[in-house]
Copies of this chain bind each other. A is one copy, B any other.
Amino acid sequence: MTHPPSAREQTRRTIFAEDLKTGVEYNLGTYLVTAEEIADFASSWDPQEFHVDHVAARDSFFGHVVASGIHTLAVFQKLTVESHLWDWNVMAGRGIRDIRFRRPVTANDRLAGRFVIDQINTDSRGRAAVTSMGTLHNQNGQLVLEVTTEALVQTREYDKTRDNRSRRR
C-alpha cells in the first residue's frame, strides 16, 4: 500500500516519550474474531490441524477449532496501533516477551484489549525503550492473552544525526 501521507497522518504523531507515564492504563477497544478469519489466518501462517480442520479438531486437545496464537497476538497489535500507537512517535518495535495463551480463542469471540506502561528507559540519544504489559479478554471476561512488548519511542530531544545505525541496509 503506497500512498502519500494524509493530512491526518502528518498531524497525528503528537505523542512523544515525555508524554508517557508508567502505570497509565490504555483501553484498546474490542475486536470480533470470525470463523472465516481464523481459517484464513491459520491457512496462511499456522496451518496446524486444530486451527484449520474442523473434523480433525474434534479429536484434538481443544475438541474444536481454535485461533492461532500468532493470530491472537496480531489482534492485540491491531487494536494497539489503531487505538493509540498511531499517535505515538514509535521508532521501532524491539521485542516481545512473555506471551501466554491463557485460553483458546474461538469463532465469534469478541476480544477486549488493555495495556499498561511498565517501564520507560531513555538513552543518551533521546530514544526511550517503553515496556508495556498487555492483555486480551474475551466476551465472558476471561483472560486469553498476556503479552509484554518493548517499543522504541522518540523523545522531543531525539538526536537523529547520532543515530545512523538503521541506515546501513
Which A residues form the contact surface with B (CB < 8 A)? 1-5, 9, 39-40, 42-50, 52-56, 60-63, 68-70, 73-75, 77-78, 81-82, 85-86, 90-101, 103-104, 106, 152, 163, 166-167, 169
Q: Are A103 and B9 in contact (CB under 8 A)?
A: no
Q: Which of B5, B52, B73, B166 contacts A61 (CB 8 A)?
A: B166
Q: Which residues of B contact A2 (CB under 8 A)?
A: 39, 53-55
Q: Which residues of B contact A103 (CB under 8 A)?
A: 169
Q: Are A5 and B55 in contact (CB under 8 A)?
A: yes
> A5-B56, A49-B9, A96-B96 given as contacts; is B101 within 8 A of A61 (CB)?
no
Count the copies. Answer: 2
Chain B's closest residue to A152 (CB) is: B61
- Closest Cβ of chain B to A146, distance in Å, is 9
Q: Which residues of B contact A50 (CB under 8 A)?
A: 92
6 contacts between A and B (CB under 8 A): A1-B52, A44-B74, A45-B77, A46-B74, A46-B81, A47-B82
- Closest Cβ of chain B to A27, distance in Å, is 19
> A48-B81, A77-B46 given as contacts; is B69 within 8 A of A93 (CB)?
yes
Q: Are A163 and B61 in contact (CB under 8 A)?
A: yes
- Closest Cβ of chain B to A3, distance in Å, is 7
Q: Are A1 and B43 in contact (CB under 8 A)?
A: yes
Chain B's closest residue to A2 (CB) is: B54
Interchain CA distance A99-B151 in the complex, whole Å: 12
Q: Are B5 and A49 in contact (CB under 8 A)?
A: yes
Q: Which of B40, B70, B98 contacts A70 (CB 8 A)?
A: B70
Interchain CA distance A55-B10 in the complex, whole Å: 11
Interchain CA distance A139-B53 in the complex, whole Å: 34
